[in-house]
Chain A
Amino acid sequence: MSNERLTKKELWNFSTRYALTAQACQNYETMQSCAVIYSMGPYLEKIYADDPELLKEKFKAHFQFFNCQTYFGAAIIAAALAIEETKSSDATAVASAIKTSLMGPFSGIGDALFNTMPKVILAALSAYAALEGSFMTGAILLVIFTPLLVFLRWKIIELGYYKGAEIITEHQEQLNNVREAISVLGIIVVGALIATTVKVSTPLTITAGESTQSIQDLIDSIFPKLLPAVATFLVYKGLDMKKMNTVRMVWVIIVVVMTLSVLKVIA
């Protein structure tokens, strides 16, 4: 072990450099490798200042493919940097192995915790208030959750750097449990959101003799929000079709809804 460990301030700078370029110049070839180089590069320069040729090889190695949810990505790179600091001859091989083996599992956990949940639950709360013409809810959520996210991200990075990759891996079981529990919260909220955000109704009526019965009223009396549930189910199944992707699905929805709307089947 060499004594060239990063100070708290340097680790904070590393974390800032990573945040600033987390998906910089993202490309199909190496995805987020530019963020890796931009954040750990200056510290690699410092560690291997005495061996310029080796340093070039280090850069080349860390320009390889990397793709992860950005908070855990920063933590994994911090762990990789800690390994490079040992200056052992197989440091880069170990660091690369850690990067490739951890980025997959932690993308899943990170996306569930830090992307899907806030983007769905917090954004929905903020959006409903916005429809009423108020940004108060959004502002409150921003004041509560942004410091929380900054804090959690920093803790994960510290854990990755000081305790190494082992500790992240040791906690993986616990993190998986967190993910599973929080997914249940997500599913409950999505169930509620299907009922509130998806709006479809039918203007169709049945005429029997003198009386006219609105089909929508009939549906409402038995199973309110049946049509939004059916619409979501159809889209869900439709996504499984061959050659279907999100963008094609947007167009399919637009064409189908337009047609049904012109035919006055739905409104």
Chain B
Amino acid sequence: MISVFQIILILIAITLVSYEVLMTQMMVKCCGESVLLGLLVGLIMGDATTGLLIGGTMQLMSLGLAGYGGASVPNYRVGTTVGTAFAIATGGGLEVALVVGIPAATLGVQLDVLAKMLGTYFLHLAEKAAEKGQYKKSYGIIFWGNLFASRVALTNTYPALIFLLLGSAFVENLLAIIPAWFISGLTTCGNVLPALGMAILLKYMPLKGNLQYLVLGFILSVYFGLDILPIAIVGGIIAVLLYQRLQRESKQQVVTGGIGDE
């Protein structure tokens, strides 16, 4: 069972984390939003280890899924939150978290589109207030509208609340109906989904002419068995060398460009 008190604490946790991820953007990204949420919800539900396991799994599934230029992507914050809560409440562990969490995360996209449509409404309210010279009111509309009726609340707090109110009894009934092949299939999905995040990242990176670096990372992991941290350090050293070379080249270009102008 999830008590009312626990639901309130969970809602505060997801709201704060989402606010940080969407607005201030300086803290949560350093330790992973799903990891932090898994830990917080785990602590609230009384099982931090399970929370971390689910948070870590969801983090790896969503690695690289970022809404560049304001695009909408699946919301793994909601997935982690309700997944962790029900996994601990029902004692079902990671499988329950995936069965509840993945669909919940995917729903987040439609809600994000809706929230951005609603954002237009608050934009016009704030604009009207400013036209009348009521600037304080305009700031108020932006701040409070954002807090209660924008992407933070609409795509995170409210969906989490609805799922939590549906309750663990509902989730247990659901799990009783779902056949075993479906659950094991979903677990495999959870293992394959990180490929999407990686593919999207590669779309946003200058892969052209840099394919050898992708192979290098892959080889260092597969054949040398290195962890991510040492590989990141090797990558960092190569990046510094490359930066120094690029800087030298830019300076030379400036010099030759100057002579050409004369």
Among A25, A129, A149, A150, the residue within 8 A (CB) of B150 is: A25
Cα distance, A231 to B64, chains bound together (Å)? 16
Among B52, B118, B228, B243, the residue within 8 A (CB) of A124 is: B228
Per-residue CB proximity of A190-206 to B under 8 Å, as 1/0? 11111111111000000
Which residues of chain B from 221 to 241 have any CB-CB distance to chain A below 8 Å in the complex? 221-223, 226-229, 231-232, 234-236, 238-240
Which residues of chain A from 165 to 214 have any CB-CB distance to chain B below 8 Å in the complex? 173-174, 177-178, 180-200
Q: Does B41 contact A (CB under 8 A)?
A: no
| Contact flag A224-B195 (CB < 8 Å), given A135-B52, A192-B228 | no
| Interface pair B31/A142, CB less than 8 Å apart | yes
Cα distance, A46 to B25, chains bound together (Å)? 28
Among B39, B73, B235, the residue within 8 A (CB) of A189 is: B235
Closest to A224 in B: B222
| Contact flag A127-B232 (CB < 8 Å), given A174-B247, A177-B250, A250-B196 | no
Closest to B39 in A: A135
| Interface pair A67/B69, CB less than 8 Å apart | yes
Residues of B contacting A228 in the complex (Cβ-Cβ under 8 angstroms): 195
| Contact flag A37-B66 (CB < 8 Å), given A25-B119, A247-B106 | no
Instruction: Return B229 CB to nearest CB of chain A, in Å.
Output: 6
Size of the B side of the interface (Cβ < 8 Å), in residues, is 114
Looking at A75-83, A84-92, A155-163, A259-267, the stretch in contact with chain B turns out to be A259-267
Q: How large is the interface on A (under 10, 10 to 19, 20 to 34, 35 or more residues)?
A: 35 or more
| Interface pair B188/A115, CB less than 8 Å apart | no
Closest to B32 in A: A123
Among A138, A183, A185, A247, the residue within 8 A (CB) of B35 is: A138
Main secondary structure of the interface of B (DSSP, over half): helix
Looking at A5-13, A93-101, A232-240, the stretch in contact with chain B turns out to be A232-240
Q: Does A47 contact B (CB under 8 A)?
A: no
| Interface pair A232/B30, CB less than 8 Å apart | no
| Interface pair A200/B24, CB less than 8 Å apart | no
Instruction: Return B192 CB to nearest CB of chain A, in Å.
Output: 5
| Contact flag A246-B205 (CB < 8 Å), given A19-B24, A131-B56 | no
| Interface pair A191/B218, CB less than 8 Å apart | yes
| Interface pair A38/B27, CB less than 8 Å apart | no
Which B residues are closer than 8 A to A by beta carbons?
Answer: 22-27, 29-36, 38-39, 48-49, 52-53, 55-57, 59-60, 63-66, 68-74, 102, 106, 109, 115-120, 122-123, 126-127, 130-131, 133, 135, 138-139, 142-143, 145-146, 150-151, 181-182, 184-186, 188-189, 191-207, 210, 213-223, 226-229, 231-232, 234-236, 238-240, 242-243, 246-247, 250
- 4 closest Cβ contacts across the A-B interface? A191-B217, A27-B119, A130-B56, A138-B31
Which A residues are closer than 8 A to B by beta carbons?
Answer: 19-31, 33-34, 37-38, 41-42, 45, 52, 55-56, 59-60, 63, 67, 70-71, 107, 111, 114-116, 118-131, 133-135, 138-139, 141-142, 144-146, 149-150, 153, 173-174, 177-178, 180-200, 224-225, 228-229, 231-232, 234-236, 238-239, 246-247, 249-251, 253-254, 257-258, 261-262, 266-267
